[in-house]
Amino acid sequence: MAMTMSGEVVLPADQQTVWEKLNDPEVLKRCIPGCESLEKVGENELQASAKVAVGPVKATFKGKVMLSDIDPPNGYRISGEGQGGVAGFAKGGAAVRLEPVEGGQTKMTYDVDASVGGKLAQLGGRLINGVAKKYADGFFDTFAKEVQGGQPSA
């Protein structure tokens, strides 16, 4: 089952700061909901593990994340694929663009395309899209706090 999502958020920091945080595995690990580990294993490759719950299906997904089309400090494409055992699989990517806006802030736009299979795909699009939006909102809320230099809320 395929899904897409796009949006934008204005972050309270300059473009270079946002770029640096967006490329810091420790920052991303703190911001990604359910992320248990995120480690750099190559020049533009990360190994990830995250606990995900979608309705009654709970699983730990493990997989690789790759960065491509890297254009510092303007953006990149992030793509990945993860296996969640009997829960199924997820794969997809996102194009992320940064641009400066008034007041020393940065606008981040994103276009996500993803697909899921297995038990997850059987849950239905509305539930999966709702959970995906919740996870995205959680990421950006925490990431905004990170770029401000503040501690994210628990």
H helices present in 5-124, as ranges: 15-22, 25-31
Domain residue spans of the chain = 2-149
Looking at residue 153, its pLDDT comes to 47
Looking at residue 40, its pLDDT comes to 95
Structurally, at CATH architecture level, domain 2-149 sits in 2-Layer Sandwich (3.30)
Mean pLDDT, the chain cut into blocks of 10 residues (154 residues total): 90 96 94 94 95 90 95 96 92 94 96 89 86 87 87 47
Looking at residue 14, its pLDDT comes to 96
Query: Could you give the count of Cα atoms lying within 13 Å of 130 in the half-sphere of its Cβ?
Result: 8
Looking at residue 150, its pLDDT comes to 60
Can you say how many angstroms the Cα of residue 53 is from the centroid of all Cα atoms in its chain?
A: 15
